[in-house]
Amino acid sequence: MRMKRMDTFAFGRFAAFAALAFLSTASTFAQAQQRARARELGVAPGIFAPGKLNAITDVADVRVGQVTLQEGDKVRTGVTAVLPHGGNLYRSRVPAALHVGNGFGKFAGSTQLNELGELETPVLLTCTLCVWKAADAMAAWMLEQPDMQQVRSINPVVGETNDGGLNDIRSRPVTAKAVRDALEGARGGPVEEGSVGAGTGTVAFGWKGGIGTSSRVLPASLGGWTVGVLVQTNFGGVLQVAGAPVGRELGRYSFQNAVASELPSSAPFASGLADDRGDGSVIVVIATDAPIGDRNLARVASRAMMGLGRTGSSASNGSGDYALAFSTAASVRRAFDAPRHTTTELANEEMSAVFQASVDAVEEAVYNSLFMATTVSGNGQTVEAIPLDRVREILEKYGIRAP
């Protein structure tokens, strides 16, 4: 009889926990249902059309895997994995390059990546203090893959942003299982955006940031190539959307207290708020099927800073701004043990359209990361999602027609 009472009590506790979990999940789902991508608000940067999914996975064979970690009331982080193709990346490497806009960050594997101009692992994104755990877990996973028994060196590539506001970052909560699940769960198709994966606990322009993605397809006359972008946003500045001063209109932007204190007394003043200096970080991953070598991929990666600048970033002192670009084209792949590489790649004169596509896709991916993010509470803080109803009003005000 006593055991029966204990079972009933335990079941009651389980049912209560399950109900709370359901309500939390339902609330998150309801929030997500109310969000919108940039194009749904009438924001479509540039002149080239997006791919079918308007995502990095529009580049054939590129795969994305994400694991979101929300544990208790403190852990709000995750892992996002980008795989250039579905084969053995160590044996069939892709040319790649990393551009550092501002180097206040940790980007594991960057020196070898730029020295050799190639990727031999997937790209992982996570939180700052979990970089090395993620790198170790991916190295172990890679070494277990077929035809890797004799490998004695591996260069895991891992980028990060600091989500220590919403996330108990000092507990270093990313586990080897989370990394493996992200890698093994990587797929083509639609990419989840907003407060997911490595973007679970990030903040951008004072609002909830996260994962965003976009793509562009060049006209056949320009090669017909696809450029796809994925971003992890955790940076600041003075937000503008398609030129509209959204940050100023919403009263949330870098240095607003310093500026407001010098305005007439009748002007609004955000007293009591910390004067945000635009610090944080952003990671940009650019994929393309255009046959481009590592030298020109470095030029592509550098254009990411132009896309970030359009959104209002000034790459502040405390921001780690990194952009990695790679090509999936078969003609520029590099077999690990080949005595020589014979490749066919685009000439310099053919790069301009790829540059344009990259800048536009980076800009839109940042907007998508903001507009799709949901309000998140964790580690004793709450960061609100940017209010899309107000964004729509501001876009209308400045002549950008939002439906």
In a domain? residue 34: no
The candidate with the shortest Cα–Cα distance to 287, out of 210, 186, 146, is: 186
The predicted model gives 368-383 an average pLDDT of: 98
**Structure-model confidence comparison of residues 66 and 337, the more confident one:** 66
In a domain? residue 23: no
Q: Work out the number of other CB atoms within 10 angstroms of the CB of residue 9.
A: 10
In a domain? residue 12: no
Report the CATH number at residue 314: 3.60.70.12
Q: Which residue has the tokens 């755990």?
A: 133
3-class state of residue 1 by DSSP: coil
What integer best gives the mean pLDDT of the chain?
A: 90
Q: Counting every residue, how long is the chain?
A: 403
3-class state of residue 82 by DSSP: strand
Residue 91: pLDDT band by 50, 70, 90 thresholds?
Answer: very high
Does residue 4 have a pLDDT over 50? no
In a domain? residue 9: no
Residues recognised as catalytic: 281, 319, 321
CA 189 to CA 331: how far, in whole Å? 24
Q: Which of 12-21, 251-260, 290-299, 375-384 comes out lowest in average pLDDT?
A: 12-21
Does residue 102 have a pLDDT over 90? yes
Q: Are 204 and 194 in contact (CB under 8 A)?
A: no
In a domain? residue 8: no
How many distinct structural domains can be found in the chain?
Answer: 1
In a domain? residue 226: yes
Q: How far is CA 61 from the centre of its chain?
A: 19
In a domain? residue 15: no
Rounding to the nearest 10 degrees, give the CA dihedral for residues 329, 334, 339, 340. Answer: 40
Does residue 389 have a pLDDT over 80? yes
Q: Is 172 exposed, middle or buried (0-12, 13-18, 19+ CB in 10 A)?
A: middle
Range of the domain at 200: 40-397
Does residue 28 have a pLDDT over 60? no
The candidate with the shortest Cα–Cα distance to 84, out of 298, 332, 256, is: 332
- pLDDT attached to residue 277: 82
The predicted model gives 235-244 an average pLDDT of: 96
The predicted model gives 62-80 an average pLDDT of: 98
CA 150 to CA 73: how far, in whole Å? 44
Q: Would residue 280 be called left, alpha or beta, if left means φ above 0 and alpha means ψ between -120 and 50 degrees?
A: left
Does residue 22 have a pLDDT over 60? no
In a domain? residue 10: no
Q: What are 249-261's pLDDT values in tens digits?
A: 999 999 988 887 7
3-class state of residue 293 by DSSP: coil
- pLDDT attached to residue 365: 99
Residue 321: pLDDT band by 50, 70, 90 thresholds?
Answer: very high
The two structure tokens encoding residue 173: 């909560």
Q: CB neighbours of 100 closer than 8 A, spacing ≥ 6? A: 107, 110, 321, 322
- pLDDT attached to residue 275: 55
Does residue 339 have a pLDDT over 90? no
Residue 179: pLDDT band by 50, 70, 90 thresholds?
Answer: very high
The amino acid at residue 26 is A
